Amino acid sequence: MTRRAAVLATFALLALAAGVASPAVPPAQGPAVAVVVGRDVALADLSLPDLRRILLGDRQFWGDRTRITVLVPPPGSPERAVVLRVIFRMRESEYRQYWIAKIFRAEVTSGPRVAGADQAKRLVDATPGAIALIPASAVDGSVKVLRVNGIGPGQAGYALR
Amino acid sequence: MRSLLGPGVVALALAAGPAVAQQHRSAVEVIGFGDFNFFVTERPVPDGFRSGQLAGHVGAALTPRLGIFAEVTASPVATASFNLEIERSILRYDFADYLKLSAGRYHTPMGYWNTAFHHGQWLQTSVNRPEMVKFGGQFLPVHFVGLLAEGSLGSGGLAVRYHAGVGNGRGTNIARGGDAGDANAQRAWVAGVSVSPGTPRSLAIGAGIYTDRARPAVGASVDERMFDAFLAWTTERPEVIAEYARSRHEQDAGPRATSEAGYAQVAYRLPGPASAWKPYARYERVKVPATDPLLGTLGLNYRAVLAGVRYDFAPVAALKAEYRREKPGGAVWFETVVLQVSFTFPRWQEEQASSPEVNP
């Protein structure tokens, strides 16, 4: 049938063009990324699944019903690559599609906010319920560092690197 | 005039979005979707190019707990240029993760597809929705006007989500929700629960019920009790979505019948350098006996097998090529080939944080 042949030809042409739009794969390991919160957050440790739920917008409130404000590293930064690989398990393009779908489904009113390390520390200190991901090397006394699965950023077996 | 009004209002809303977003960058998200299609079909409908649907979504956090969501579409119709529709308009107050209360016009929270993809063709893998949840369809009441409570419970690796709502149910045009009031004094009730691991885009298994007393424009009122179950495993490698609905319709001291519908879709995003490509296939069926007092005369029986490939040629645009073999209504199978380009705009990126932004 002519129409069926046209279909096969279309699919074959599309297949020949494969590989053009392949995004880069994030590196297998990067710098340690610390999870920091304000001193008002009554937590010292988060499990990796709970951290995932927070950063993915599936959990939007702390236990005291304070809304969680998420600050993520800027696109292109080494910390961003770690976060995408370990937390989101997505490429940058998939991450964008994830948030577009989440916003469109009315599950959240907006996505995370981007902040570099210094800005993130200032905002975490000043914003009730904020949580940020910053290079472990940038941690100072202005913020509280959370352990992930009971392990801190400087310890062996830390998940976010 | 209305034909011009539709796309005009959508365009205005989308154009206004960035300006509003500049003033309250943390509080407003504006997203648009569009698509354009080419059909070659044996079905008795026109072939050729078809304008797709233009959809605009606005979400805004009015306070840290109060948000609004609105979705507007402009769709091409045969009798006019475009038809404007307010698809969703929701005001929601978030008490906590476990309780969010809202009022407005929703896509009925039954099953998976109807609330996972809405009107953005770019978001879904295939060209069109399954027949059982198609827009303008009658098997499932696509829209719901009323109140909804929803939330999620659990932590770590397992999340349980629930929803329960009361609303107007079907209008006298049973394809539509009762936008301007209920068609009778009996409200519709909807409830559902789903469980899923806490990891992103993993397995979700859910079930729901919907009850109403429908009053169609022609004929007597009909009690409707619908049950729906779904499984969605949306990891891209693979994507598996299956849904089944069973709807019991009964007239007082009159005919009664049960209609069924379902689909199963499988897709797989190719690995490595071919990751822009995502082949997919779907089987679907709608089975409505002629004795069904609500749906039996509407010719809703349908079977289809389709296969296609989605090619994400840009981060915000996809080309889909799809072949369908389908049997709508009668006993004849028809073949159709569709090419669709779908897109979203603007290219979404998180906003840069600043003090006023994170403290709306």
Contact B355 A123 (CB under 8 A): yes
Q: What is the DSSP string of A19-33?
A: TTTPPPPPPS----E
Give contacts of A 5-64 with B, CB under 8 A. 6-7, 10-11, 14-15, 17-23, 47, 49-50, 52-53, 56, 58-61
> A122 to chain B, minimum CA–CA distance in Å?
9
Structure token digits, residue B58: 């606005």
What's the rounded mean pLDDT across residues A135-151? 95
Cβ(A35)–Cβ(A145) below 8 Å: yes
Contact B199 A97 (CB under 8 A): no
Number of A:B CB contacts under 8 A? 177
Say what the pLDDT of residue A71 is: 96
> A154 to chain B, minimum CA–CA distance in Å?
23
Contact A100 B272 (CB under 8 A): no
Contact A6 B40 (CB under 8 A): yes
Residue of A nearest to B120 (CA): A104
Say what the pLDDT of residue B201 is: 57
Instruction: Give the ipTM.
Output: 0.84
> B352 to chain A, minimum CA–CA distance in Å?
5
Say what the pLDDT of residue B80 is: 74
> B183 to chain A, minimum CA–CA distance in Å?
28
Q: What is the DSSP string of B222-264?
A: EEEEEEEEEEEEESSTTEEEEEEEEEEEE-TTS-EEEEEEEEE
d(CA A150, CA A53): 17
Say what the pLDDT of residue B110 is: 95
3 state SS of B42 = coil
Contact A93 B315 (CB under 8 A): yes
Q: CA geometry: angle at A58 spanning A54 and A63, to 5°? A: 60
Average pLDDT, whole number, for chain A? Answer: 84
Contact A10 B118 (CB under 8 A): no
d(CA B336, CA A3): 9
Residues of chain A found within 8 Å of residue B57, distances taken between Cβ atoms: 103-104
DSSP lists the bridge partners of residue B205 as B195, B231
> B337 to chain A, minimum CA–CA distance in Å?
7
Contact B348 A119 (CB under 8 A): no
Confidence label for A65 from pLDDT (cuts 50, 70 and 90): very high
Say what the pLDDT of residue A22 is: 37
Residue of A nearest to B65 (CA): A67
Q: B161-181 burial by CB neighbour count: b if 16+ within 10 A, else e?
A: bbbbbebbbbbeebbbbbeee
Helix intervals (H) in B117-232: none
Q: What is the mean pLDDT of each run of 10 residues along chain B (360 residues)?
A: 42 41 57 96 93 93 93 87 91 97 97 92 96 94 96 84 96 88 92 83 90 92 97 92 98 93 97 94 97 95 98 96 95 96 86 59
Give the closest of B60, B118, B276 to A22, CB-based.
B276
- Cα separations in angstroms, A146 against A40, A61, A135, A143: 13, 17, 13, 10
For an interface test with A, the pick among B30, B91, B97, B335 (most A C-beta atoms closer than 10 Å) comes out as B97
Q: B298-317 burial by CB neighbour count: b if 16+ within 10 A, else e?
A: bebbbebebbbbbbbbebbb
d(CA B191, CA B310): 34
Say what the pLDDT of residue B198 is: 60
pTM score of the predicted model: 0.87
> A26 to chain B, minimum CA–CA distance in Å?
12
Say what the pLDDT of residue B236 is: 86
3 state SS of A78 = helix
> A116 to chain B, minimum CA–CA distance in Å?
9
Contact A14 B155 (CB under 8 A): no
Per mean pLDDT, which range of A13-22, A73-82, B320-329 is the poorest?
Answer: A13-22
Residues of chain B found within 8 Å of residue A49, distances taken between Cβ atoms: 155-157, 198-199
Q: Kindly tell me if the per-residue pLDDT of A23 is higher than 80.
A: no
Residues of chain A found within 8 Å of residue B275, distances taken between Cβ atoms: 22-23, 91
